[in-house]
Amino acid sequence: MDALIARITGSQVAATRPLHGGDLSEVTLVTLADGARLVAKRGPMVDREAVMLGIMGDAGAPVPGVLGVGGNVLLLDYLPETRPTPEGWRALGLGLGTLHGQEARGYGWDDDYAFGPVAIPNGWMEDWAVFWAERQVLPLARALPAPLARRVEVAAGRLPELIPARPRPALLHGDLWTGNVLFGAGSAHLIDPASYHGDPEVDLAMLELFGSPHPAFREVYGRPEGDWATRRAVYQLWPALVHVSLFGAGYHGMLSARLDALGT
C-alpha cells in the first residue's frame, strides 16, 4: 500500500491510524511526509466503488475525491468528520436531491456488486417491481429458514401492488444508512456506495432503517407521499435480508418486522 501511495501522491507515508469502517473493509488515515492526509480503504471490489464515486461526483453529489486505486486499495480525499448538525442534515438533503436528479434508461447498473459473500446482481430491467423482487429480495430469501423464506416469497409476489412499476430511475447511493454519511462542519458527504438506478425512495427508506433523519433533511429534500409506511417496509426488506445473510439469525427480528408491516 505504501508504494501505491508514494506513486500516486509523490510523497512517502509518515504515519497511519485506523479509522472506523465497515465490517467488510479496512479504513486507514494516512499522514504523508509533506503533512497531507488521505484515506486508504482496503477491501474487495474497491475498483467498482471508485467508479461509483466518480459517477456520483460527476452528477454533482458530495463525495470524497478519488485519488487513485490499485489492487484492493482505494485512496480517497480525507474529510474531517463532526457530529451531525441541522446544517449538515440540510446539506445531505441538497446533496441527495442532486444525486437523485441523475436518471438512467431503466433500473440497474452496468456491473454487479457484492457485500463480501452477499452478491448484488444489478442487471438492467424495465419494470421496477420485477427488479426489486428478482434482483434484491428473492436471491437472498433462498438461504432463510423455510417459514421465513415463504413469507418473503409472498411479499415479493405482492410487489406489483405495493410499489410502482416505473418510478423515476434515479441514481442511488444504494446503502444509505447514516453510517455512510460523513458529516462535516455544515456539510455531508456520501461514502461507501453500492450504486444503481432505481426508485429514489430506496435511499430514503435506508436512512430510516436505524432511526429517523433530522427534520432539517425533510425541509430540504421533501417528504414521500401516499402510503410511505408500506413502501418503506418494502424497501427495507433488502437491507434486512443483507443483515441476516452477513450476520445471522440475530437479524430475523428486523426482517420479520418488515414482513409484519406488509401483512405477510
The Cα 236–Cα 137 span in angstroms is 10
The set of catalytic residues is 175
* Residues ≥6 apart with Cβ < 8 Å to 253: none
C-alpha distances in Å from residue 102, one per residue of 78, 127, 195: 26, 18, 12
CA angle 210, 249, 42 (to 5 degrees): 65
Q: What is the Cα 99 distance to its own chain's centre?
A: 12
Check: CB of residue 141 under 8 Å from CB of residue 149: yes
| Burial tier of 253 (Cβ tally within 10 Å: 0-12, 13-18, 19+) | exposed
